[in-house]
Structure 1
Amino acid sequence: MKIVLRSHTLSRSELEAGLSLSRAFFPEAQIEVEDLSGENNAAGCGVGIIHIDIHYPDTPWQIEGSFRGLSCGTKLGSGKSSVILNEEQIKFILSHPYAGKEDKRKFLLKRGLLSLLAQVTGHTPPWGILTGIRPSKILHRLKEAGYSSEERAASLGEVYAIREDKSQLLQEVVDIQQPFLEDMKSHPQDVAVYIGIPFCPTRCSYCSFPAYSLKQGREPLEHYLQGLGEEIRTAGAWMKAGGLTADSLYLGGGTPTILTIREMEGLIALMMTHIPHREAGEFTVEAGRPDTLSEGKLLALRASGVNRLSVNPQTMHNRTLQRIGRAHTVEDIIKAYELAREIPGWVINMDLIMGLPGEGAKDIQETLERIRALEPDNLTVHALAIKRGSKEHEQGSTQNLGRELEGMQEDIMAAVRSMGMEPYYLYRQKHIAGNLENIGFAKPGLACRYNIGIMEERQTVIGLGAGASSKIVDPRDFSLVSFHHPANWQVYLKRWRETQRKREEAEKSLAKHLHPLY
């Protein structure tokens, strides 16, 4: 199925701003801008044409559009252009506070597409015209610009067409994040440090991250740890010289707990020796696979200073675990969690995924009930996003649970809140089921600082290891410079020094502007 965007008044670059929103209505379609050669211009069986014209700033302001073609035997549109938004409606929309950075014509294109495609499909995405990863950024900008809560709510609804429940969710998240972000801004020399271990026991079917299996032996991991150790020493020396201190450490992957106790203790000792850090700072380790945990390893992690642990079942159904390629059972999850819970002094997070292959609303509710009995401190609820490169994508799995998941979101939110948790961060992804969102919940006072900083892009993060990203954030306006390590661990070992040089140059440039803050 193919959808083509066409216009007489919009340039190709302007039309491209509508691609992501169009995918929210037609997630399985190939969507493209009109080819000037005319080869993709014919509507017909399996091909749909979206025609949209914007008259702005020329008067009279209006947006016209039509949709035709697409389905064989199903008439979704007449093809006749009609006024989607008139001048009065456009003026009303533009009269509200706007926190976006794109120009007004691209913004109006999205509003026009939203109205047109909602008429065509009979469905309006819960996030309105927003397709970005971090919707809470908009609300933070509006709040910092001095707009009242009423003005912010009106902007979310009238400008961005966000559904009221999503608007309320955003406002709740932003209020919880506020003290964390104020603290980060007042301490610009505090940073987050992420260290990646791109190895797993097996590859999950929905995963597109190039995590490497150790089925053929541990030699690749041992080689990788040697190179990673070099980067830790180098980055740590640079941080000390620049007066940077980590207030949160995050050991992620992959599956970091695939390391032996000796390897884990050695890596953490190296981190603590070379990376300047707050003694009482947050230190998270992803223990995503319960089959990689033992009592000895958990005790070693806690003794090494880890104070936040993520044990990720994804589902509490054995048939699904087997289908997605995880080499453990629900019983293994419960055993690992109970072992961790017996050790005092850390926050325990669990991850769940809605929309896994073969699962419906009833399965998700059953999983939530089993999680409730365990009483974790944090719970992260993901909506499945099937990415290019994952086995589910390769096998053509659509797992189109979108409407069902959207319909039961209220029940899921109520279930998690009944566990004494509140939402403290959220983000969205391309190809996410139901055009929904991933939400992190926490019991009061137990929110993850690292997650808030990295999702809102309000704090510099130093990413070490294959596939890790670094973001140098200017605390004055939150502009940033990003650097990314190669995902392939072998390429990373050859090229990590290039990224380190870029980090040093960016931080040095920023420090000059911020003196005497630094």
Structure 2
Amino acid sequence: MKLEFRGHDERYTVEQSLLNLFPGELPVYEPVRPVREESWAIVTWREDEERGHACVELCWQGKAVSSGMEVPLEGRTPYEREGQRRYAIGAAFFRAYQMLTGGQPPWGMLTGVRPDKLVTEALTAGRTPGAARELLEKIYYVTPRRAALALETGTAAFEAAKGLGPRDIAVYIGIPFCPTRCAYCSFVSQSVEKSFSLVDPYVDALAAEIEAGGRMARETGLNVRAMYMGGGTPTTLTAPQLDRVLTAFETAFGPALDACGEITVEAGRPDTITAEKLAVLKAHGVHRISVNPQTMEESVLRAIGRRHSPGDIEEAMELAARCGFPHVNMDLIAGLPEDTAEGFRRSLERCLAFGTDNVTVHTLALKKGSRILQEGLAIPGPEAVGEMLDYAEPALREAGYAPYYLYRQKYMSGSFENIGWTRPGGECLYNIYIMSELCSILSFGAGGSTKMVDPARRLIQRRFNPKFPKEYTERPDKPRSNQADFAAFYAR
């Protein structure tokens, strides 16, 4: 779609709106010739001291409309005026889309990862739950059903924030290895079969980084409230390697772990789970593991490149039950290749039969580096994905679960969301902390994204470790630099 801006250069706002509302359309920045072209938008902004006005002239498939949005600017700071401009342009674009198509995306004009953050912020500012929900529906055009979901998860984040102090943080430890690469995956994770020689050096480098980071945290007076080991698949490591990483964590952080009430390890792929590895996790006080089938349908497992069977998943769950972990999570993905609404329903029912207290229902995100796109694998359409999610919500609620965190990704089927469901008392605080940006996350390992958060100042800064395992092992200077920046953030 050709885009022409007048009086502004809000490329990000318009591009995200375009991606959200017209999947497959790419922005082209050239002068628009309305008579000759069938897909274009002219986006205009004008303002004075008191008010700003956005106007979007939008044409799609030869049909053109015009929509405007006016917002108050008087007495606003430059930062607030910028926010008002972005909102007005996004709202005008959305309203023009609705005039053209009559469409109603579930999340309205919202394009970000954390739609429920608006609820958490509203509650923190003293607004009522009803006012927070009305904000989503009336201002951002979110459907009532999604607004209700956001109210539940945004309230969970509001309550979790009450238990955090200014020097409380969470820790993430990344293990970027998997047995094989799934068809939907674009994460930087290596197949162990192809990169076995990288694993030992990686564990050495990771232990060294954790030791330095723990020392920094103690010296800075930080408290770890939750730790999450993810990937990749952490249980791709051997039992001795897992023991080494967890021992490094415990030893390095020491007293900083006194308030740590949650240690989570993604066991993930059932074909990596053994009694020996689970015994190591249990010995280190791991509170929660994830067993992530993604589907319980044999044909879908084959289509996504998984080597395990539904029977392997059942055996892994039996092992986890025997070990007595307080919390177990299972992940499912709606919209996988070869899946159907009936197949997804069967998968969810089999997961619920295990009695796990956490179930995460993801919506397939079509990632550019995934095999699904590279090979053109057939996937269910948005209507089928919607049917899967429409079944999941009432089924989970009837089984005693409630939503406690959610997030969205780019290129999601049907523009839906990912939701974590829990029975009472089973919330994974790390998931709430990171998704709602309630506290800093100190990350270790290749591809680690450290996030420094100061809620009082509404300040967020990020630092990134080297992306690939080999690069990470060869560049210990970058993690050290990131840790120095983390300490400096808390020295202010």
Alignment TM-score > 0.5, same fold: yes
Query: Structure 1 pair 402/101, CA: closer, same or farther in 2 (3 Å)?
Result: farther
Amino acid at match of 1:35: E
**Cα distance in 1 for residues equivalent to 2:36 and 2:302:** 43
Counterpart in 2 of 1:210? Answer: 188
Using the TM superposition, name which of 294-303 and 196-205 deviates more: 294-303
Contact 2:4–2:29 (8 Å) recurs in 1: yes
Query: Structure 1 pair 101/212, CA: closer, same or farther in 2 (3 Å)?
Result: farther
Counterpart in 1 of 2:324? Answer: 344
- % of aligned pairs identical? 34
**Cα distance in 2 for residues equivalent to 1:18 and 1:32:** 9
- 1:78 and 2:63 equivalent? yes
**Cα distance in 2 for residues equivalent to 1:101 and 1:288:** 45
**Cα distance in 2 for residues equivalent to 1:108 and 1:383:** 29
Contact 1:424–1:442 (8 Å) recurs in 2: yes
Amino acid at match of 1:63: C
What is the CA distance between 1:354 and its match in structure 2? 0.5
- 1:151 and 2:149 equivalent? no
- 1:285 and 2:283 equivalent? no
CA offsets 1:439-478 (integer angstroms, 9 cap, x no match): 0111111100111111111111110000111111114234
Using the TM superposition, name which of 274-283 and 474-483 deviates more: 274-283
Counterpart in 2 of 1:177? Answer: 157
CA offsets 1:349-396 (integer angstroms, 9 cap, x no match): 000100001212222111111111111110111000011111112123
Counterpart in 1 of 2:298? Answer: 318
Question: What TM-score do the two structures reach when normalised by structure 1?
Answer: 0.87
- 1:227 and 2:205 equivalent? yes
Structure 2 counterpart of 1:48, from 24, 27, 39 = 39
**Cα distance in 1 for residues equivalent to 2:126 and 2:216:** 38
Amino acid at match of 1:387: K
Counterpart in 2 of 1:32? Answer: 27
What is the CA distance between 1:106 and its match in structure 2? 2.2
Contact 2:335–2:384 (8 Å) recurs in 1: no
Q: Secondary structure at the match of 2:379?
A: coil
Contact 1:422–1:441 (8 Å) recurs in 2: yes
Using the TM superposition, name which of 429-438 and 354-363 deviates more: 354-363
**Cα distance in 2 for residues equivalent to 1:100 and 1:361:** 44
What is the CA distance between 1:64 and its match in structure 2? 4.8
Question: What TM-score do the two structures reach when normalised by structure 2?
Answer: 0.92
Using the TM superposition, name which of 106-115 and 276-285 deviates more: 276-285
Counterpart in 2 of 1:4? Answer: 2
Amino acid at match of 2:143: R
Counterpart in 2 of 1:67? Answer: 59
Counterpart in 1 of 2:221? Answer: 243
- 1:501 and 2:454 equivalent? no
Structure 2 residue runs of 5 or longer lacking an equivalent are none
Counterpart in 1 of 2:121? Answer: 141
Contact 2:223–2:259 (8 Å) recurs in 1: no
- 1:365 and 2:345 equivalent? yes
What is the CA distance between 1:153 and its match in structure 2? 2.4
What is the CA distance between 1:498 and its match in structure 2? 2.4
Structure 1 residue runs of 5 or longer lacking an equivalent are 69-75, 513-518
Query: Structure 1 pair 333/509, CA: closer, same or farther in 2 (3 Å)?
Result: closer
Using the TM superposition, name which of 280-289 and 173-182 deviates more: 173-182
Q: Secondary structure at the match of 1:342?
A: helix
- 1:437 and 2:417 equivalent? yes
Using the TM superposition, name which of 390-399 and 311-320 deviates more: 390-399
Query: Structure 1 pair 166/216, CA: closer, same or farther in 2 (3 Å)?
Result: closer
Query: Structure 1 pair 216/150, CA: closer, same or farther in 2 (3 Å)?
Result: closer
Structure 2 counterpart of 1:381, from 348, 361, 366 = 361
CA offsets 1:69-122 (integer angstroms, 9 cap, x no match): xxxxxxx3433x44x2476xx68xx9xxxx988432321121111122123233
**Cα distance in 1 for residues equivalent to 2:296 and 2:58:** 46
**Cα distance in 1 for residues equivalent to 2:485 and 2:54:** 48
Q: Secondary structure at the match of 1:147?
A: coil
**Cα distance in 2 for residues equivalent to 1:433 and 1:60:** 35
Using the TM superposition, name which of 336-345 and 307-316 deviates more: 336-345
Structure 2 counterpart of 1:266, from 230, 241, 244 = 244
**Cα distance in 1 for residues equivalent to 2:410 and 2:194:** 33
- 1:477 and 2:450 equivalent? no
Contact 2:404–2:420 (8 Å) recurs in 1: yes
What is the CA distance between 1:317 and its match in structure 2? 0.5
**Cα distance in 1 for residues equivalent to 2:287 and 2:157:** 20
Contact 2:344–2:388 (8 Å) recurs in 1: no
Q: Secondary structure at the match of 1:249?
A: strand
- 1:464 and 2:460 equivalent? no
Structure 1 counterpart of 2:171, from 162, 171, 193 = 193
Structure 1 counterpart of 2:13, from 13, 17, 22 = 17
What is the CA distance between 1:231 and its match in structure 2? 0.6
**Cα distance in 1 for residues equivalent to 2:481 and 2:123:** 36
C-alpha RMSD of the superposition: 2.5
CA offsets 1:404-457 (integer angstroms, 9 cap, x no match): 323553321101112211111000000111111100111111100111111111
**Cα distance in 1 for residues equivalent to 2:485 and 2:388:** 48
What is the CA distance between 1:203 and its match in structure 2? 0.4
Amino acid at match of 2:221: G
**Cα distance in 2 for residues equivalent to 1:49 and 1:242:** 53
Query: Structure 1 pair 100/196, CA: closer, same or farther in 2 (3 Å)?
Result: farther
Amino acid at match of 2:23: P
Query: Structure 1 pair 6/236, CA: closer, same or farther in 2 (3 Å)?
Result: same
What is the CA distance between 1:305 and its match in structure 2? 1.1
Using the TM superposition, name which of 436-445 and 139-148 deviates more: 139-148
Contact 1:17–1:110 (8 Å) recurs in 2: yes
Query: Structure 1 pair 63/247, CA: closer, same or farther in 2 (3 Å)?
Result: same
Q: Secondary structure at the match of 1:463?
A: strand
How many residues matched? Answer: 485
**Cα distance in 1 for residues equivalent to 2:69 and 2:198:** 62
**Cα distance in 1 for residues equivalent to 2:51 and 2:487:** 47
What is the CA distance between 1:249 and its match in structure 2? 1.3
Query: Structure 1 pair 336/41, CA: closer, same or farther in 2 (3 Å)?
Result: farther
**Cα distance in 2 for residues equivalent to 1:193 and 1:374:** 29
